[in-house]
A and B are shown apart, each in its own frame.
Chain A
Amino acid sequence: MSRYTRIEFLAACASRHVRDGENVFGGTGLPLLAALLAKNTHAPNANLISEAGFIDAMPREVPLSVADSRYYYGCSASIGLIETLGFILQAGRIDVGFLGAAQIDEYGNLNTTYIGPYEAPKIRLPGSGGGNDIASSAKRLIIMMTHDKRKFVKQLDHMTSPGHLEGPGSRERWSLVGGGPEVVITDMCQMDFDPVTRKIRLMSVHPGYTVDDVLDNVMFDLIVPDSVPTTEEPTQEQIEIMHRLDPHGVYLGKARD
């Protein structure tokens, strides 16, 4: 068994959801690390796209920004936003997009803009960026978050990006291009969505945690199936590759554990 940090676990777990040959929006941060890890392991033909304009990128080290020059060398084309978010994403050509969030509700709707009331926000967060576009139009959405009870809420302070909105049929009602959230990965568990009700459902629990730990750390009703498997652990190879990709520990942290 390999030793791993929570962040390493999260990145390795997310990377397994990228399939070979898919068109992937990676962004920056842990999602990017997960996408790069997939490309360096089981999905060598994944087409990694950055919304700033880089297409089929294979950076030697992790970029700090979606526009980072580290994305440039070795990519197949370097264009711009209308290309990536318009021609590629909105035209339905992105298979999988990654997003993080400060708050998520039981339909996978996301808040990345305000904590507190819109009229007098307590905390301004980064905002949508390309998040709303990706959540609207990517075929599948993978959401990555560190697990904190206050983030898994019944009612968002602000809905920045669409998950399954109010449930069955609501994405169709707004003629959204993409399929919405498929999986939510935290450092405690994986969650997916019930195909009928579109409500969030426990999928697997990471080693060291129990179903009750998860239930104690969400503020909405989580569907718990009869059997909940334990999430697969990262391999030593995955851990080594992600440290090679992030040699300065920008995302993984300086310490190995």
Chain B
Amino acid sequence: MVPDGAGLFWGGFGYQRAPIAFAQELVRQKKRDLTIYTCGSEVDLEIMAGAGVAGRFEIAFVAIEAIGLAYNMRRRVAEGKVEIEDYSNLAMAMRFLGGALNVPFMPIRSLMGTDMANKSRYRGDKKLRVIDCPFTGQRVCLVPSVQPDFSIVHVQRVDQTGNAQIDGIVGEDIEGSRCGKKLIVLAEELVDEAEIRSRPDQTRIPAMYVDHVVVLPFIAHPMQCHNYYDYDLEFLQFFHKMTRKEETWQEYLDEYIFGVDDHWSYLDKVGWERLNQLRAKRPWGY
């Protein structure tokens, strides 16, 4: 469904609700020249940069936080195969809010005075603009809104009509889910409409915004999905180790992404005993 060259809002934040299964499927389908818009993503960005499906990233952050740096991204940037247009988390969230509100830009009070405002990778003078506010005279930074071809958002639950509920933090997914031209929701579980309507305050994305729904378990593995499963620390460390060198990354790619037919085969390969141990416990949510 996603054509080569498309722009994607990429949901999830940090270790939470990362659409990893979708990234792996983009790789299996050999997509090319995608542009990814997100605040801070980690394993999924490493997969897409490493496998060459995306060449441009408008992001604030890429690393595996406490586990360490993003080696695939580092190699691809050094090789010149990936271009990153750097923004801050607030700047990206506001670009999505602007896109969702259907206004061309949003004002923020970050980025000014630094190289974030002075240097651009490929957007040139369309990266941002610092102006004097016409009302107060204060300096303010305008960032361009984003309305990408698709928004990809991973949620906990969805019903038959597409109402989607998110538990825990939403990150930038409220704005992100509304800014794209088409919204693809990935859900861990399909529940009855009656269940959604019994706790509508949990519905972060009403069905009216949703174009397509995919229901699969463990979409974020080895990352976490609040109230469903914790991150798989051992696998995460293994993944990070495999990205350290190009040869081992290619091994990982061949074995865990090209070597499986689909997400179900990936989960079989990881092993259900292992996955079941990651299931969240009450009341902690992980």
Chain A interface (Cβ < 8 Å from any Cβ of B)? 28-29, 50-54, 64-73, 78-82, 85-86, 89-90, 109, 113, 118, 120-133, 136-137, 158-162, 165, 170-171, 173-177, 250-251
Contact = CB atoms under 8 A, between A and B. Distances in A.
Q: Which of B63, B97, B110, B139 has the most CB of A within 10 A?
A: B110
Given A69-B230, A72-B286, A90-B108, 12 more contacts: A28-B66, A29-B66, A65-B14, A65-B16, A69-B224, A79-B170, A81-B93, A82-B172, A127-B86, A136-B112, A171-B113, A176-B112
Nearest to B172: A81
Interface string B57-98: 001111101110110011001101000101111110110010
Contacts of A132: 88, 91, 110-111, 114, 116
A130 B139 contact: no
B84 A67 contact: no
Contacts of B13: 52-53, 66-67, 81
A176 B171 CA distance: 24
Contact of B60 (A82, A128, A136, A176): A128
Given A124-B78, A137-B110, A81 B90 contact: yes
B285 interface: yes
Contact of B114 (A124, A160, A251): A160
B216 interface: no
B112 A174 contact: yes
B174 interface: yes
Residue among A28, A54, A173, A175 having the largest count of chain B Cβ atoms under 10 Å: A175
Given A64-B67, A69-B284, A129 B90 contact: no
Interface string B134-149: 0000111000000000
Nearest to A85: B90
A176 B113 contact: yes
B89 A128 contact: yes
A158 B233 CA distance: 33
B175 interface: yes
Contacts of B9: none
Interface centre among A64, A165, A171 (most CB of B within 10 A): A64
Given A118-B119, A128-B60, A128-B88, A81 B285 contact: no
Contacts of A124: 62, 70, 73-74, 77-78, 84
B30 interface: no
A137 B91 CA distance: 13
A121 B116 CA distance: 15
Contacts of B70: 124, 126
Contacts, number: 201
B109 A137 contact: yes
- Size bracket, chain B contacts: 35 or more
A177 B130 CA distance: 15
Nearest to B108: A90
B16 A127 contact: no
A171 B170 CA distance: 32
A129 B67 contact: no
A74 to B, nearest CB: 9
B103 interface: no
B221 interface: no
B60 A129 contact: yes
Contact of B40 (A69, A79, A129, A251): A129
Given A136-B109, A160-B114, A128 B66 contact: no
B194 to A, nearest CB: 25
A67 B39 contact: no
Contact of B111 (A109, A123, A127, A136): A136
Contacts of B67: 64
A110 to B, nearest CB: 9
Contacts of A85: 89-90, 93
Interface in B221-238: 224, 226, 230-231, 233
B173 interface: yes
Given A64-B65, A69-B230, A175-B109, A133 B116 contact: no
15 contacts: A53-B170, A67-B14, A73-B283, A73-B284, A80-B171, A81-B172, A86-B93, A90-B110, A118-B119, A126-B62, A129-B88, A136-B111, A137-B109, A175-B139, A251-B66
Contacts of A177: 109
B15 interface: yes
Cβ-closest 10 pairs across A and B? A67-B14, A53-B169, A65-B15, A69-B286, A67-B16, A129-B61, A126-B63, A65-B14, A80-B170, A64-B66
Contact of B90 (A73, A89, A118): A89
Nearest to B13: A67
B259 interface: no
B200 interface: no
A72 B140 CA distance: 34
Contacts of B16: 52, 65, 67-69
Interface in B195-217: none
